[in-house]
């Protein structure tokens, strides 16, 4: 049925092409056939393909196009075609051979390829996606404990046991892999859909070096965030004030307030931008990952050059019960808190029930600590009052001895979503000048800080009203403008 539908689509598309040629006055005569006489067409049976096949037979062209698309070249019209349709196709062939303008269009480069993988491949991929979606159902990865919903880890065997309760899954799995045990089917399905929970299990040595650079960039961005937020807040305030000032229907009091705001922002916004600038410029452009930076090709396919998580599952190698060969899995849909909860319960169970010692649970404990940082820390809500300059971004001195830190499942920094160098980020980041970039150790003169704490050489200052965060009242301070 699928093949018949495809053949009918090929035939109808061919009729549409020739109808359009007539509408654009590329043809003097109508060369379309009545719908009732148009037969199903296979690849290789269109007019231009027959012309090409005849040229190949005459040694005037190569057969690469037919081989690439899995079609069979024919030089004669099929006998089973209706006589009326055969006559139309003969006229089309004659026009292609005599009309140079039409010959430029009726050629492989300008025609629909109808290139597909075939029904079997399409069906297998669709079934595989459907089964993986069922494996990802949220209710499978949470269970109630003391009246509260908690995340839970499952081995591939336990996941298969849960899926056995779903008759649809059992039926579709039988269609996917006939006569195969569901546990084996589930293990095969998730084999390329998981990424380990720990950075040391995901990356090769070179990848760990790059991971460290990324973490340093995230740390610098977290320091920069409140300053950037302040600049964006002032810009939005300026935009709103300008809109009110231009509004002819606004009352006099609103216009006066808007004008006062614009006067204040005329000095305050450039000052905030100047304070933010060294923090922005201190952030290097992190390196992109390569396939060799990951321990397995499957991890690279799930993460890519920017290490963006696309996997469905988190894997916990060597964390199953002793003697259980099945891979232990978590759900990639968990947030940092849920990842930490799952790890904490795993550590408790292994230590208290399975007799794991300190060395056995140490790796899980480190990953749990990183997940906890991810759900408790975040971007500061106000501009720091410290006088410290933007920190240096350090990288390991040798790629063979990287400094490895445990990390949560996703490559995002603790408490913040992953920050990737997209269009906006590239405007904020600059590439390092060397493999081990050294960032400014101090804010340059003219830092805009309070004069008493700026650390700049004594030069000059001015008195100004500094708009501080909401929790700090406005006050008159001395601003460094050296």
d(CA 138, CA 410): 19
DSSP string covering 57-108: HTTSS-SHHHHHHT----SS--TTS-HHHHHHHHHHHHHHHH-HHHHHHSSG
Q: What is the pLDDT of residues 301-356, one digit of tens each?
A: 999 999 999 999 999 998 888 889 999 999 999 999 999 999 999 988 888 887 77
Higher pLDDT, 352 or 52: 52
Supply the pLDDT for residue 250: 84
Sequence-ordered alpha helix ranges (H) in 191-312:
199-202, 205-246, 252-281, 297-303
Looking at the predicted structure, is the pLDDT value of residue 365 above 90?
Answer: no
Looking at the predicted structure, is the pLDDT value of residue 154 above 90?
Answer: yes
Label residue 64 by pLDDT band (50, 70, 90).
Answer: confident
> What token pair was written down for 473?
């009242």
d(CA 97, CA 434): 62
Looking at the predicted structure, is the pLDDT value of residue 28 above 60?
Answer: yes
Q: What is the pLDDT of residues 135-145, one digit of tens each?
A: 999 999 999 98
Higher pLDDT, 195 or 409: 195
Report residue 197: phi and psi, to 5°: -75, -15
Q: Which residue has the tokens 């978590």?
A: 330
> What token pair was written down for 199?
């950075």
With a threshold of 0.75, does the pTM exceed it?
A: no
Q: What percent of the chain has pLDDT over 70?
A: 74
Label residue 366 by pLDDT band (50, 70, 90).
Answer: low
Q: What is the pLDDT of residues 172-201, one digit of tens each?
A: 999 999 999 999 999 999 999 999 999 999
Supply the pLDDT for residue 375: 53
Label residue 478 by pLDDT band (50, 70, 90).
Answer: very low
Q: For the CA atoms of 208, 210, 213, 214, what is the dihedral angle to 10 degrees?
A: -100
Supply the pLDDT for residue 364: 57
């Amino acid at each position: 049925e699928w093949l018949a539908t495809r053949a009918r689509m090929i035939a109808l598309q061919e009729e549409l092409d020739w109808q359009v040629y007539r509408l654009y006055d590329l043809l003097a005569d109508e060369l379309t056939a009545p719908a009732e006489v148009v037969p199903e067409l296979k690849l290789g049976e269109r007019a231009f393909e027959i012309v090409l096949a005849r040229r190949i037979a005459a040694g005037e062209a190569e057969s690469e196009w037919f081989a690439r698309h899995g079609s069979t070249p024919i030089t004669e019209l099929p006998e089973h075609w209706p006589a009326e349709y055969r006559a139309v196709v003969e006229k089309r062939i004659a026009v292609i051979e005599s009309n140079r303008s039409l010959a430029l269009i009726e050629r492989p480069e300008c025609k629909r390829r109808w290139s597909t993988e075939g029904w079997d491949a399409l069906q297998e991929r669709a079934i595989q996606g459907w089964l993986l979606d069922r494996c990802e159902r949220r209710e499978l990865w949470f269970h109630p404990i003391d009246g509260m919903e908690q995340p839970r880890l499952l081995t591939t065997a336990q996941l298969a046991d849960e899926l056995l309760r779903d008759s649809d899954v059992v039926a579709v799995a039988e269609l996917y892999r006939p006569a195969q045990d569901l546990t084996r089917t589930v293990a095969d399905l998730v084999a390329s859909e998981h990424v380990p929970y720990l950075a040391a299990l995901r990356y090769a040595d070179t990848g760990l070096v790059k991971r460290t650079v990324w973490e340093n960039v995230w740390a610098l961005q977290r320091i920069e965030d409140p300053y950037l937020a302040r600049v964006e807040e002032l810009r939005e305030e300026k935009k709103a004030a300008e809109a009110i000032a231009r509004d002819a229907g606004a009352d006099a009091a609103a216009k006066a307030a808007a004008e006062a705001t614009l006067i204040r922002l005329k000095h305050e916004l450039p000052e905030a931008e100047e304070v933010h600038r060294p923090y922005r410029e201190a952030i290097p452009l992190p390196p992109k990952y390569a396939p060799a930076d990951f321990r397995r090709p499957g991890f690279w396919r799930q993460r890519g050059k920017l290490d963006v998580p696309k996997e469905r599952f988190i894997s916990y190698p060597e964390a199953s019960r002793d003697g259980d060969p099945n891979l232990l899995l978590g759900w990639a849909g968990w947030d940092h808190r849920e990842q930490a909860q799952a790890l904490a319960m795993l550590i408790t169970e292994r230590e208290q029930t399975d007799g794991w010692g300190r060395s056995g649970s140490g790796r899980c404990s480190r990953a749990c600590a990183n997940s906890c940082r991810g759900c408790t820390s975040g971007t500061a809500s106000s501009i720091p009052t410290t006088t410290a300059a933007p920190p240096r971004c350090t990288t390991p001195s040798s790629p063979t001895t990287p400094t490895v830190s445990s990390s949560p499942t996703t490559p995002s920094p603790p408490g913040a979503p992953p920050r990737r160098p997209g269009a906006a980020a590239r405007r904020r980041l600059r590439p390092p000048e060397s493999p081990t970039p050294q960032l400014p150790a101090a804010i340059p003169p003219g830092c805009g800080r309070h004069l008493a704490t700026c650390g700049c050489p004594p030069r000059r200052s001015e008195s100004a009203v500094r708009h501080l965060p909401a929790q700090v009242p406005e006050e008159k301070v001395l601003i460094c403008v050296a």
